[in-house]
Chain A
Amino acid sequence: MNRFFAIKTTANQERVVANLMEMAVKKYELGVYSILAPKELKGYVIVEAEKMEDLLKAIRGLPHVKGVVKGEVNFSEIEHFLTPRKAAEQIKEGFTVEIISGPFKGELAVVKRVDEAKNEITVELIEAVVPIPVTVKADHVRVVDKKEEEV
Chain B
Amino acid sequence: MMDAGRHPNIRLLTNSELVGLEGEAGDFKAQVRRHPRYVSEELCTGCGVCGRNCPVEVLSEFDAGVGKRKAVYVPFPQAVPNIYILDKENCTECGICVEKCPRDAIDLDDPGKDLELKVGSVIVATGFEVFDPTVVKAYGFGLYDNVVTSMQMERLLNASGPTQGHILRPSDGKVPRKIGFVQCVGTRGEAGLQYCSRFCCMNSIKDCMLVKQHAPEIEELKIFYIDIRAAGKGFEEFYQRSLEMPELTYIRGRPSKILEDPQTKDLVVQVEDGEAGKINDFQLDMVVLSSGAVANKTNQKLAEILGIEREETGFFTSGEETGSPLESTKEGIYLCGCASGINDISDSVAQGSGAAAAAEKHLAKLRIEEKKEEIPELDVSGPPRIGVFVCHCGINIAGVLDIDALKKYAETLPDVVFVRDSLFLCSDDGQRRLQDMIKKKKLNRVVAAACTPRTHEPIFRESCARIGLNPYLFEMVNVRDQCSWVHTEEPQEATEKAKDLIRMGVAKARLLEPLYKQSIKIDRKVLVIGGGISGMRAALDLDAQGFQVTLIEKEGKLGGSLNDIHRIYPQDLSASELVETMMQKIKNSKIEVLTEIEITDIKGFIGNFEVFTSKGGLKVGTIVLAIGGELYEPEGDFGYGKFKNVITNLDLERMIRDNQGDIIIDGEKPTTVAFIQCVGSRDLEKNPACSRFCCPTTIKQALELKKRGTNVVVFHRDMRTVGTRAEEHYRKAREMGVRFLKYSPEMKPQVVGEGKASGVELLEPALNRNLTLPVDAVVLACGMIPNEVETGRLQGILKVPRGADGFFMERHAKLGPVETTVEGVFVCGTAQGPKDISDSIAQGSAAAAKVATFICRDTIELEPTTSIVDADMCRGCGKCVRVCEFLAPKLVEKSPGIFVAEINQALCKGCGTCASWCPTGAITAKHFTDRQVESMIETFLTEAV
| A and B interact physically | no
Interface, chain B (partner A; CB < 8 A): none
